Amino acid sequence: MARVPGRGRRHLHHPAGRRGGRGGRVRRRGGRRARGRRLGPRHGGEALYVVQGSQAHLVPDTASSAGVVRALDFTPDDVVPARADWLALFGTGAEMTPFAVEGAGGVPEGALGQIAGVTTGSVVVNADTGQPYVALADGRLARLSPLADAVYATRENAAERIVVPADALSQVEDATDGIPIPESWPTAIGEPVSPDLAPCAELDVEAFAAVLVPGQAPDASGRVTVSPGTGALALFTASPSSPEGPVRFIDENGLAYAIEGGPSGPREDALLRLFPTGGADQVVPIRVPYAWGDLVPSGPTLSIDRAAMSQTEVPVADGGEEATP
């Protein structure tokens, strides 16, 4: 869990923080996969999130929030401080709070309403398979995943589950639409990341999405680290199909250099000079969501015009040394 102050396969990796407990914590560093999840604390002005797979789910500060945390098998020790820009790497999933069933407490239509004790919103369990469902007002049953079942059980005034023989449910239709369970919720309750590892956001470039994975935290907290001798040329954009956005080269020092065009030539010419391919073809940047660019400090801008300046004219990177053209 993460707590945030309230205000071909290529990957970019950004870890959160080291933890001292069993579950997840999230600090800045760098589908739904059930493996790996994190929880974040809640103090004044802070928000609590469950991060699992590629989504971050807010746990609203309500009467049921403590129950939701327990239902997902987290403890207070599993909360990890996280910066808002780290959480922004993930998609925004539906809030992790008990969902509401329209018409709750009434009698369902059809055969379902004839079963003793069943009302709209009841959890009905198939006695033969153990599969839980929630009863809908139109007489259908909506299947509950392990995670949805656990969260729904924390609702106020939750009634006892009703175990029903399979033959009594033979005339009851399963719901395939109009289901009150949020679609963005994971289906399984994920395994916590091991205490000796850090929760990391890993960018799957093909999927254009970050996924939470266990990994090693860099020694220097709060800094971007890049493997020696490597780098990335990235187009930071709003969607995987958008051609618009800044192009930046991220070097092994963890600095991002914007590559721009100018009077002496377009950005494409600058790319061809910086990254020659031996022909007319130019290197193609990988597409990266905007949020990842916010984590990397900026170096000087690279362009044909700036390369023509004298060394004393070249802009200086924030907190860095003069760049040599």
Q: Would the pTM of this model clear 0.85, i.e. be above it?
A: no
Residues 60 and 80 in one domain: yes
Position 2 in a domain: no
Domain shared by 189 and 92, yes or no: yes
- Residue 25 placed within a domain: no
For residue 281, the enclosing domain spans 222-310
Instruction: Using CA atoms of 99, 105, 109, 113 in order, give the dihedral in degrees to the nearest 10.
Output: 110
Q: Is 208 within 8 Å of 77 (Cβ atoms)?
A: no
pLDDT in tens, 242-276: 888 999 999 999 999 999 887 767 788 888 888 87
- Provide DSSP, 234-290: EEEESSTT---S-EEEE-TTS-EEEE--BTTB-HHHHHHHHS--SSS--PPPEEEEH
Tens-digit pLDDT profile for residues 121-145: 999 999 999 999 999 999 999 999 9
CA distance 3 to 108: 40
- Note whether 238 and 303 are same-domain residues: yes
Residues 86 and 190 in one domain: yes
Question: What does the pLDDT average to over 25-51?
Answer: 53
Residue among 223, 230, 203 nearest 288 (CA): 203
Distance between alpha carbon 72 and the CA centroid of its chain, in Å?
17
The yes-or-no verdict on residue 161 having pLDDT over 60 is yes
Residue 317 is assigned to a structural domain of this protein: no
**Could you tell me if 257 and 283 lie in one domain?**
yes
68 and 213 in a single domain? The answer is: yes
* Higher-scoring residue by pLDDT: 241, 161: 161
Quick one: pLDDT band at residue 20, thresholds 50, 70, 90? very low
In the predicted model, what is the mean pLDDT of residues 147-155? Answer: 97
Both 155 and 260 in a single domain? no
Which range has the worst mean pLDDT, 7-11, 12-16, 189-193? 7-11
Residue type present at position 186: P
Looking at the chain, the number of H-run helices and the number of E-run strands are 6, 17
**Would 147 be classed as within a structural domain?**
yes
274 lies in the same domain as 154:
no
64-121 pLDDT, tens per residue?
899 999 999 988 778 888 888 999 999 999 999 999 999 999 999 999 999 999 999 9
Query: What is the structure's pLDDT at 37?
Result: 60
Residues 93 and 187 both lie in one domain: yes
Provide DSSP, 168-192: GGTTPPBPSSS--S-TTS-SS-PBP
pLDDT for 324 beyond 80:
no
- For residues 235 and 211, state if they share a domain: no
Which pLDDT score is estimated for 51?
94
* Judgement on whether residues 165 and 190 belong to the same structural domain of the protein: no
Number of domains in the chain: 3
Q: Are residues 278 and 302 in the same domain?
A: yes
Q: E-strand spans in 79-139?
A: 80-81, 91-92, 123-126, 132-135
Is residue 73 situated within a structural domain? yes
252 within some domain? yes
